[in-house]
Amino acid sequence: EAPLYKDPMQPVEARVKDLLSRMTLQEKAAQMAQIERRVATPTALTDLAIGSVLSAGGSSPRDGATAEEWADMVDQMQRWALASRLGVPIIYGSDAVHGHNNLFGATIFPHNVGLGATRDKELARRIGEVTALEVRASGIQWTFAPCLAVCRDPRWGRCYECYGEEPEIVQMMTSIVSGLQGSPPEGHPSGYPFLAGQRNVIACAKHFVGDGGTHKGINEGNTICSYEELEKIHMSPYPDCFNQGVCTVMASYTSWNGEPLHSSHFLITDVLKEKLGFKGLVVSDWEGIDRLCKPHGSNYRYCVAASINAGVDMIMIPFRYEKFLEDLISLVESGEVPMSRINDAVERILRVKFVSGIFEQPFSDRSLLDVVGCKEHRLLARDAVRKSLVLLKNGKEARQPFLPLKKNAKRILVAGSHADNIGYQCGGWTIAWYGGSGRITAGTSILEAIREAIGEEAEVVHEPNPTASTLLQLQQKEPFSYAIVVVGEVPYAEMLGDRTDLSIPFNGHDTLSLIAGTIPTVALVVSGRPLVLETQLLDQIEALVAVWLPGSEGGGITDCLFGDCDFHGVLPVSWFRSVDQLPMHSSMGAGYDPLFPIGFGLRMFDK
Ligand SMILES: OC[C@@H]1[C@@H](O)[C@H](O)[C@@H](O)c2nc(-c3ccccc3)cn21
């Protein structure tokens, strides 16, 4: 009759034990390998029975692929995996970090820094729930989210992936795990993986640990601090995720006091697995083990030994899987990697797979296809945008608020590089790894939202980058009631976003100053982090809103600008005056002198 591990009525731990006992060393090593979709072939998945496949940022079956094409691809790979000797299904991972951002047409939510501004746990959970549906619609079962980094220096290119600069804010937003995976029942053992069902996805608490605390915010850099500080600032969001049964943890590229996380037995095994009791699987980051040696990828056999022995269970290789398997098997045969370590890793991987239900439901659920980018999801994203906006200035005098704007104004100017650019408002990790410009996916730009919100008789003039003379001509024809000027950062990811100069790029400052000099202006800043705002400019503009990276639903911005609802967001990060102040946090006492402090945010209506 069917082997025990295939019987869904058996307890998970019994199924894990039974399957493990049937596996050869080669099959165990293969389960510990995660490869990129471009090298996922029948050889890899059937003959070698590799355990997991991922899409790198932007890696899709084809540009603009539909959810159905994604599901066809994942299901095909699954059939290859099920044809392997023991028929162990793969789990397929992708970075759905603000909606299913690898999928064209998916709902794109505000990036984490904007969600941190909402301080709304239930919203985060709901976003997780909806994201899980759109990820599942494409046949994918695992997202590499949430990022729990506590951003201690906004010069870091991944500041926008962080919910805030204080652990309490990040801890609050970990409720997204219960949205993604479903909420575990009362009494669920902390640290043990949980997944409610086939409309939920495996989540990934990343990047363990201290990723947001590197010196000067240097990406993949070194976090220099005491163990107490590492635990208090950077580690505290992890137990919140373990209490929710998060299934996976991703190791950080960064080092702690010079020791790379990917080879830290103390932090991965003694702390994460033993002290904190994490029972799911630890996956490396992309070529995370290759970075253990200089030059990158040299001494690969050592890199494999050091990371696996440190406690990493699955390696995001992602391409040279033959070399990985050859080295790992050789290391076990030589005794440099004990079989007990291999068994621990494979047990954890199988535990997550059995808990996820993928043995019983290995294929995609096609009934979900039409939820991708659906109206209900876009309304949730629009609500998230509304709640994420932070009103930093409203009127030059206290009793003369500038917002809300009049919908029936006669003539308004909409200007700035970011007024009509869906790619810019989505930011990095959208369609391409580092994002893009223009109509990169379905959505509503800020200009389109203004045109929808404004009264019929109002004339909207769109001039991205007006010169002084253009402005004069435009004004002579008929003066403007007000101007909405949208400036900010262009999309970036990881090291591409590391910057020591945090002024508004694209001479956004000059555009703002030119326009605000002659027309009452509200400035919208589209950015993944605070940017330098000169005092003179601040004095010139009538109102200022931090919109962060709002995603596809630009309508959430005009909902607030025109007063359909009030602003509620408060800063999740300190808004510095100058980069010379960095790093700067509210806990530092005297030296804390931001332009706007963490927690700051104005209202239009209720005082
Ligand atoms: O996309 C998978 C993971 C993601 O989950 C991690 O948060 C992130 O650190 C990451 N960087 C790369 C990556 C970095 C450089 C070149 C190519 C890919 C890949 N990944």
pLDDT per residue as tens digits for the range 335-376: 999 999 999 999 999 999 999 999 999 999 999 999 999 999
pLDDT above 90 (res 170): yes
Residue 74 and residue 92 in contact, taking contact as beta carbons nearer than 8 Å? yes
Task: Name the 3-class secondary structure at 90.
Answer: coil
Please name the residues in contact with 383: beta carbons below 8 A apart, sequence gap of 6 or more. Answer: 123, 556
The best mutation among 55, 252, 431, 494 to test binding of ligand 1, ranked by most ligand atoms within 8 Å of the C-beta, falls on 494
**Cβ of 158 less than 6 Å from ligand 1:** no
**Cβ of 434 less than 6 Å from ligand 1:** no
Q: How far is CA 535 from CA 390, 513, 543, 577, in A?
A: 18, 11, 13, 9
pLDDT digits (tens, 9 = 90+) for 551-588: 999 999 999 999 999 999 999 999 999 999 999 999 89
pLDDT above 80 (res 606): no
Place of tokens 């997780």: 128
Angle between helices 121-137 and 375-388 (to 10 degrees): 150
pLDDT at site 477: 86
Backbone φ and ψ of 413, nearest 5°:
-105, 130
C-alpha 208 to ligand 1 mean position (Å): 14
Range 473-499 average pLDDT = 96
Pairing type for strands 222-223 and 255-256 reads parallel
Q: By alpha-carbon position, which residue is closest to atom 14 of ligand 1?
A: 286
C-alpha 315 to ligand 1 mean position (Å): 13
Range 39-54 average pLDDT = 98
C-alpha 319 to ligand 1 mean position (Å): 13
Q: Report, as residue numbers or ranges, the catalytic residues.
A: 285, 494
Q: By alpha-carbon position, which residue is closest to atom 20 of ligand 1?
A: 286
Please name the residues in contact with 107: beta carbons below 8 A apart, sequence gap of 6 or more. Answer: 99, 100, 130, 134, 372, 373, 374, 377, 378, 380, 381, 551, 552, 553
How far is Cα 201 from Cα 508, in angstroms, rounded to an integer? 40
C-alpha 59 to ligand 1 mean position (Å): 12
C-alpha 219 to ligand 1 mean position (Å): 12
Q: By alpha-carbon position, which residue is closest to atom 15 of ligand 1?
A: 286
Q: By alpha-carbon position, which residue is closest to atom 13 of ligand 1?
A: 286
pLDDT at site 398: 77
Please name the residues in contact with 596: beta carbons below 8 A apart, sequence gap of 6 or more. Answer: 392, 571, 574, 575
Q: Give the residue from 596, 569, 592 showing the smallest Cα distance to 115.
A: 569
Place of tokens 């800043």: 525
Residue 418 and residue 446 in contact, taking contact as beta carbons nearer than 8 Å? yes
DSSP string, 193-210: -----TTS-B-EEEEETT
The best mutation among 254, 286, 296 to test binding of ligand 1, ranked by most ligand atoms within 8 Å of the C-beta, falls on 286
Please name the residues in contact with 468: beta carbons below 8 A apart, sequence gap of 6 or more. Answer: 514
Q: By alpha-carbon position, which residue is closest to atom 2 of ligand 1?
A: 56
**Cβ of 134 less than 6 Å from ligand 1:** no
pLDDT digits (tens, 9 = 90+) for 418-457: 999 999 999 999 999 999 999 999 999 999 999 999 988 9
**Cβ of 146 less than 6 Å from ligand 1:** no
pLDDT at site 455: 86
pLDDT digits (tens, 9 = 90+) for 212-269: 999 999 999 999 999 999 999 999 999 999 999 999 999 999 999 999 999 999 999 9
Task: Name the 3-class secondary structure at 284.
Answer: coil
pLDDT above 70 (res 607): no
C-alpha 144 to ligand 1 mean position (Å): 10
Residue 133 and residue 199 in contact, taking contact as beta carbons nearer than 8 Å? yes
pLDDT at site 397: 86
**Cβ of 262 less than 6 Å from ligand 1:** no
pLDDT digits (tens, 9 = 90+) for 183-196: 999 999 999 999 99
pLDDT at site 92: 99
The best mutation among 102, 285, 314, 317 to test binding of ligand 1, ranked by most ligand atoms within 8 Å of the C-beta, falls on 285
The verdict on whether omega for the bond into residue 371 sits within 30 degrees of 0, i.e. cis, is no
pLDDT above 70 (res 489): yes
pLDDT at site 507: 86
C-alpha 228 to ligand 1 mean position (Å): 28
How far is Cα 423 from Cα 239, in angstroms, rounded to an integer? 35
Task: Name the 3-class secondary structure at 311.
Answer: coil
How far is Cα 211 from Cα 204, in angstroms, rounded to an integer? 14
